[in-house]
Structure 1
Amino acid sequence: MTMNMFEQFMSPELMMIQTALLTMLIPLLLIHHKPKLLGNRMTTAITWLLKTIMLNMTNQLSPDGQKWCKILTSLLIIILLSNLLGLLPYTFTSTSQLSMNMAMAVPLWMATIITGMVKKPSITLAHMLPEGSPTPLIPFMIIIETISLLMRPLALGVRLTANITAGHLLMTMVSTATLNFINTYVTLSIMTLLLLFLLSILELAVACIQAYVFVLLVILYLQENT
């Protein structure tokens, strides 16, 4: 019986209990909770990563926007860990679910809009009408810009979902072909296995890039409103 390829996006169950939450707790095992005067290599690497992320965000944001650095850093780490953990066997990729991605995208997008309306309402409203627009086209330009503004959270969530889902489906198809050819066409099976290895490396890069792109777009939306 051939398993449906989309079943890989369902959360595994252990004794009728979904193991998605247990999967998300795996990174905690990498951190030693016993207090020490000197940190280990893992805590040093995490501290360096957090400082690098914070510095890059600080350079792009205004003083008001820099207050969001902790939230954006936490968002980047959550998406990055979810993407990377989803590449492990018998795990669940939470970022492949559109509901989760939209639950992150919509509140953040709405928060940037509310921040702009509170702090700089004139500049925020000015984005609805590009400078130099012809007078007869002003109503249509406002409608188009409004639709574009409302499509931003949808684009955030769908982009992340589509990239993660497409990569996992492609890896599933290549791995299935490798197993089917292993008893009949050994040479072809080795070639597909090599392709699967390259796809795995590509998915590692995609997992990191998509987390960065998601947070970068939120930063760009924040820049317009702060």
Structure 2
Amino acid sequence: MVLNFFDQFMSPTHLGIPLIALALTLPWILYPTPSTRWLNNRLSTLQSWFIGQFTKQLFLPLNKPGHKWATILTSLMIFLITLNMLGLLPYTFTPTTQLSLNMGFAVPLWLATVILGMRTQPTHSLGHLLPEGTPTLLIPVLIIIETISLLIRPLALGVRLTANLTAGHLLIQLIATAAFVLLPMMTTVAALTTILLFLLTLLEVAVAMIQAYVFVLLLSLYLQENI
């Protein structure tokens, strides 16, 4: 029986219950809770240092009103990195390969930035739809184009994260299958394929971290336009 390579991206169920909820709650168990002590252990200290450096780097170009988003965007960054990295382990499921889940992250946060801009500075937010100095005949066309580009932003966020992770996982499975098939016939080629698989896995680890950072970075840029 030949299985479909895309079966690995199907949401697993047990007794009719989708296990994606378990996959979404697991990352929070892996991180230690900061204690009230003066000195924490090395893991907690490293975790606090990473969160502080990332938050400082991400919110440095933002105005002070945007700093209120530090908690939610930093938490989202750590959450996405953990989900992407856990999906690289054997016999695991990557929830971020589901477009519905990524759109569930992208749409509410993008919509919150748009609503914030409309509430705080409506003239400036609406000004993005019509560049200054536009000829009169092009005004309706440009408004439609800019509105479509605004509405397509959350779709681009979700599709980018889904496509990158899905392509990487699928390529890893294809190369692993090729190495397994070639092992009894051409051992040397199978060994070279295994080395390629190892290098691709390292690349996929980098992609898992970079895509989470890009997702949050683009949200911060959308926020910067509306504050």
Shared fold (TM-score, shorter chain, > 0.5): yes
Deviation, 1:220, is 0.7
C-alpha distance in structure 1 between counterparts of 2:33 and 2:151, whole Å: 43
Corresponding position: 1:158 with 2:197: no
**With structure 1 as the length reference, what TM-score do the two structures score?**
0.93
Q: Deviations over 1:70-99 (max 9, x none)?
A: 110011111111110100011110100000
Tell me which residue corresponds to 1:9. Answer: 9
Tell me which residue corresponds to 1:143. Answer: 144
Tell me which residue corresponds to 1:170. Answer: 171
Q: Tell me, yes or no, if the aligned pair for 2:27 and 2:82 is still in contact at 8 Å.
A: no
Long gaps (5+) in structure 1: none
Long gaps (5+) in structure 2: none
Q: Tell me, yes or no, if the aligned pair for 1:23 and 1:85 is still in contact at 8 Å.
A: no
Deviation, 1:54, is 1.3
Tell me which residue corresponds to 1:105. Answer: 106
In the TM superposition, 1:1-226 aligns within 5 A as 1-13=1-13, 17-24=17-24, 25=26, 28-29=29-30, 31=32, 38-226=39-227
Q: What count of residue pairs does the alignment treat as equivalent?
A: 226
Deviation, 1:33, is 8.1
C-alpha distance in structure 2 between counterparts of 1:5 and 1:38, whole Å: 49
Q: Deviations over 1:101-155 (max 9, x none)?
A: 0000000110000000000000000000112222211111111000100100100
Question: Which moves more between the two structures, 6-15 or 211-220?
Answer: 6-15
C-alpha distance in structure 2 between counterparts of 1:218 and 1:35, whole Å: 32
Deviation, 1:16, is 5.5
Question: Which moves more between the two structures, 55-64 or 164-173?
Answer: 55-64
C-alpha distance in structure 1 between counterparts of 2:111 and 2:103, whole Å: 12
Q: Deviations over 1:32-64 (max 9, x none)?
A: 788755311111111011101111122121111
SS in 2 for 1:64: helix
C-alpha distance in structure 2 between counterparts of 1:187 and 1:32, whole Å: 48
Identity %: 54
Q: Return the letter of the residue paired with 2:40.
A: G
C-alpha distance in structure 2 between counterparts of 1:32 and 1:106, whole Å: 29
Question: Which moves more between the two structures, 179-188 or 49-58?
Answer: 49-58
Question: Which moves more between the two structures, 141-150 or 22-31?
Answer: 22-31
Q: Tell me, yes or no, if the aligned pair for 2:34 and 2:40 is still in contact at 8 Å.
A: no
Q: Mark the CA change 1:27 to 1:70 in structure 2 (over 3 Å): closer, same or farther.
A: closer
Q: Tell me, yes or no, if the aligned pair for 2:179 and 2:191 is still in contact at 8 Å.
A: yes
Runs of 4+ in 1 over 6 A off after TM superposition: 32-35
C-alpha distance in structure 2 between counterparts of 1:105 and 1:29, whole Å: 24
Q: Mark the CA change 1:92 to 1:55 in structure 2 (over 3 Å): closer, same or farther.
A: same
C-alpha distance in structure 1 between counterparts of 2:118 and 2:33, whole Å: 43
Deviation, 1:20, is 3.6
C-alpha distance in structure 2 between counterparts of 1:103 and 1:140, whole Å: 30
Q: Mark the CA change 1:125 to 1:35 in structure 2 (over 3 Å): closer, same or farther.
A: closer
Deviation, 1:178, is 0.4
Question: Which moves more between the two structures, 46-55 or 8-17?
Answer: 8-17
C-alpha distance in structure 1 between counterparts of 2:114 and 2:30, whole Å: 38
